[in-house]
Amino acid sequence: MGTSETKLAMAEVLPAGGVKILSHCKIPSNGMRKSMVVNMQQVTYSLRSVVKSTEKDYMLQPREVGLVVSGPHIKCYPLEETLAVSTSKVSEEDIIAIEEKVSSVPNTQEYEVLDVIVSKYGLDDLNELYDPPKDMHGKLLRCTALVIQAEKTHIKNIVSVAEEANLSVASIFFSGYSASVAVLTQQQKQDGTLVINLGGGTTTYSFWYKGNMLYTNVIGVGGDHVTDDISYAFSISRTQAESIKQEYASAIVLNTAERIQLKGIIGNKNATISLRALHTVVNARMHELFKIICVDLDEKGFLHNLNGGIILTGGGAYLKNIINLAETVCGRSVQLGRLIPEIAGLEKVEQPAKYASVAGLLYQMSLDFQPKKSFLSRVFGGVFKK
């Protein structure tokens, strides 16, 4: 349930691993702001409509769903736990024990833990071990994880909406994680890659390094802001601003004297606006957004490891010249997100990077059907604990 679109997709789990998406429907959302519910009735209506069109177009009946959530109320912080090694070297049991310890972060009165993602280990004076130090000699084992938490009230609202639409909620996943798993190859997860999901109400970015997500953040700025800026700058309605954005907006200011004819203006039939002015408004917003992301990553100490490039997903990734702008601001190579081969079925869909979070959600849920790995799964939680 995004701020600009509500999407519903269903998939089958392939025997060899991966998913094949069988149905995908989307309709414009109402009642969401910055990825949070502000009007229950409107959001419920959007969700019911998208369920109906799935039933009608694909003859499929969703009953149990996974939800992708985002919003500026979602925060992440690193958590370290320590464990005295039971014998002289680290056993599998020790690793399971410390992972269990780190994953049992309690919910607080206000925050719900969405995910606990193990990022690295330490053993005595060794730091930054990205693989479990099994069979290594040492005394004190450390494990660092990234805890992702969300404000309970917002999660409850979105769950209530699903329940109102007669869907039972099986899992809740954070969009920053889902969008990443949908587009990142194993190599990119290793290399230090940033996934920026440019949503309608919020922008979520997640940094991956040595196979794990090490940092993520949500900014309450999205495509809605661009629309609003245009609407304010040229004193036009949000609907007009949205259609101008879709048709003419560019993230880079192009040197042009062209003017755009405004449609649907009451009174003055010849009203026009400068294309250059439009670009200036959009460029200022997107430039600021990328700058904030880079500054934040730099402050958190991740920018120097960002060597695998930047991947853009979400509706904003299709804004004209956005890749050039992101490359200029961040000084890294930038590409549009492509779904990984394990996610099939969306090959013919237009603008597939818009589906990254929802496709990633299905892929993550499919992993529950796979045989368990020897160690605990590296991602804990995910499932909503009511």
**Contact pick of 17, 128, 295, 307 for another protein (by CB under 8 A):** 295
Does residue 187 sit in helix, strand or coil? helix
* Binders of another protein in range 97-126 (CB under 8 A): 105-106, 108-111
Residue with tokens 């904003």: 316
Does residue 173 sit in helix, strand or coil? strand
Q: Are the C-beta atoms of 174 and 74 separated by less than 8 Å?
A: yes
Cβ closest to another protein, residue 72 vs residue 316: 72
Give one DSSP letter per residue of 273-318, joined into a string. Answer: EEHHHHHHHHHHHHHHHHHHHHHHHHHTT-GGG--S-EEEESGGGG
Cβ closest to another protein, residue 19 vs residue 226: 226
**Contact pick of 41, 232, 269, 324 for another protein (by CB under 8 A):** 232
Bridge partners of 282, per DSSP, are none
**Contact pick of 72, 133, 316, 382 for another protein (by CB under 8 A):** 72
Containing H/E element for 145? strand 140-151
In the complex, least distance from residue 174 CB atom to another protein, rounded to whole angstroms: 16
Cβ closest to another protein, residue 202 vs residue 357: 202
Cβ closest to another protein, residue 33 vs residue 320: 33
In the complex, least distance from residue 60 CB atom to another protein, rounded to whole angstroms: 34
**Contact pick of 17, 41, 56, 77 for another protein (by CB under 8 A):** 77
Q: Are the C-beta atoms of 289 and 224 separated by less than 8 Å?
A: no
Residue with tokens 């995908």: 24
Angstrom distance (rounded) from CA 191 to CA 51: 39
**Contact pick of 183, 194, 281, 311 for another protein (by CB under 8 A):** 281
Residue 244 binds another protein (CB under 8 A): no
Residue 134 binds another protein (CB under 8 A): no
Give one DSSP letter per residue of 234-276, joined into a string. Answer: HT--HHHHHHHHHHH-BSS------EEEPSS-SS-TT-EEEHH
Residue with tokens 């990142």: 184
Containing H/E element for 37? strand 36-37
Cβ closest to another protein, residue 116 vs residue 343: 116
- x-or-dash string of contact with another protein, 20-39, rule CB under 8 A: -------------xx-x-x-
**Contact pick of 221, 236, 251, 361 for another protein (by CB under 8 A):** 221
* Binders of another protein in range 135-154 (CB under 8 A): 149
Sheet holding 5-13, edge to edge: 5-13, 19-28, 343-344
**Contact pick of 13, 14, 219, 349 for another protein (by CB under 8 A):** 219
In the complex, least distance from residue 228 CB atom to another protein, rounded to whole angstroms: 5
Q: Which of 381, 365, 385 is nearest to 146 (CA)?
A: 381
Q: Applying CB under 8 A, which residues contact another protein?
A: 33-34, 36, 38, 72, 75, 77, 105-106, 108-111, 149, 219-221, 224-225, 228-229, 231-233, 274, 276-277, 280-281, 284-285, 287-288, 291-292, 295, 298-301
